[in-house]
Chains A and B, each alone.
Chain A
Amino acid sequence: MTLPKSTPQSTPRQSAEDLFELYSAKIYGLALKCGLSAKDAEDGVQEVFIKVQRKLDTFRGESALSTWLYRVAINTLRDHRRKVTRYSRAQSLTEYSESNVVPACDRTYSNPSLDAERNERCLLVRNALQQLPEKFREVLVLRELEGMSYRDISRILEVKQGTIESRIYRARTRLALEISNLEGDLND
């Protein structure tokens, strides 16, 4: 995915409701990719757009509106994820897991024999991704799952492009290690 190239000069003033219409589905997808459950992702989307509503006046047009919105979304979802993690620690695990289904890892494929295998692999990869430090997880989600360019990622995270390049490399190395550790645990 490449962020729209619209510049602030060419973008008419939009309300938070207009932005919700345009981006809510994408932000919901982003929340799921960041590791939130379907329910938490919906909460996250609401928080993002309420924040957009509050902050829209402060958008000064130094970047494209979509870049600004993704920046607000990433920061808000990061906070929301921390809140949810604290909450899930406080709750009993079974109580929380009832509403914590991971949609991507609960699929039914055309070939039923593949279901369990793929869903199991999906959970393993998800768990490995969750083990990564936030900064590594975020770049991998934006690069591999959102398909963004290094330039867009650097604008969203407000980090130099060279840093993004090295962070993605380190994130991949780390993820491969985490997956291999989890596979090892399963085989033991």
Chain B
Amino acid sequence: MINNKQWKLRTSAWFDGECSDIDSAEVRSHLLEDNAARLEVQQWRDLRADLQLLQPDAASGECIKRMKNRFQEGLSHEVYAYSKAVRWLNVAAALLLALSIGGWIAVNSKAPGIEVYAQESNQLDQAIHDFLSRPASND
């Protein structure tokens, strides 16, 4: 048994030509019996006619041309923005690479320099003692 809501949905679908042949036949006989349903369909017809008032005219050639120009400008802007982003990405990647290489070099190779070794204090004392104990030079 089809309830009232289901009838309304089915009638709406029939109105839009979206019903099967069997459903269409059922809706038509329902409409013959139900005055309120017929009134509703008439209301939809009026609504459809009203909505057709909103149907716009086709876009003029001038309008299409204007939109095309704007679209192409927009596309070039997109390409420019993309290439700019790629350029910055390249710069960032080059910097990162340079920093990594620099870091690696700093860690793995020490520059040659003067190395100073502390002497043991007793050795120093001995050296000083030996130095002082030398006989004085004849010069």
Contact = CB atoms under 8 A, between A and B. Distances in A.
Interface of A: 16-17, 20, 24-25, 28-29, 32-33, 38, 42, 45-46, 49-50, 53-54, 103-105, 118, 121-122, 125-126, 129, 140, 143-145, 149-150, 165-166, 168-169, 172, 175-176, 179
A174 to B, nearest CB: 11
B51 interface: yes
A45 B75 contact: no
30 contacts: A16-B75, A17-B75, A20-B68, A20-B71, A24-B67, A25-B64, A28-B64, A29-B56, A29-B59, A32-B56, A33-B54, A33-B56, A42-B70, A46-B67, A49-B71, A50-B75, A53-B78, A104-B54, A122-B53, A125-B54, A140-B51, A144-B52, A145-B52, A150-B16, A165-B18, A168-B12, A168-B16, A175-B47, A176-B43, A179-B50
A122 B54 contact: yes
A55 to B, nearest CB: 12
Interface in B72-117: 72, 74-75, 78
Given A20-B71, A168-B16, A126 B9 contact: no
B56 A103 contact: yes
Contact of A118 (B9, B51, B53): B53
B55 interface: yes
A143 B78 CA distance: 34
Q: Which 8 A-B pairs have the closest CB atoms?
A: A169-B12, A32-B56, A122-B53, A144-B51, A28-B59, A125-B50, A25-B59, A104-B56
B70 A46 contact: yes
A150 B53 contact: no
Interface in B37-75: 43-44, 47-48, 50-59, 63-64, 66-68, 70-72, 74-75
Main secondary structure of the interface of B (DSSP, over half): helix
Given A24-B64, A28-B63, A28-B67, A50 B54 contact: no
Nearest to A146: B55
Contacts of A179: 47, 50
A118 B50 CA distance: 10
Contacts of B30: none
A176 B47 contact: yes
Counting contact residues on chain B (CB < 8 A from A), the size range is 20 to 34
A152 B18 CA distance: 12
B8 interface: yes
Contacts of A24: 59, 64, 67-68, 71
Given A42-B70, A125-B50, A179-B50, A104 B13 contact: no
Contacts of B74: 46, 49-50
Contacts of A25: 58-59, 64
A145 B55 contact: yes
Contacts of A169: 8-9, 12
Contacts of A165: 9, 12-13, 18
A145 B71 CA distance: 26
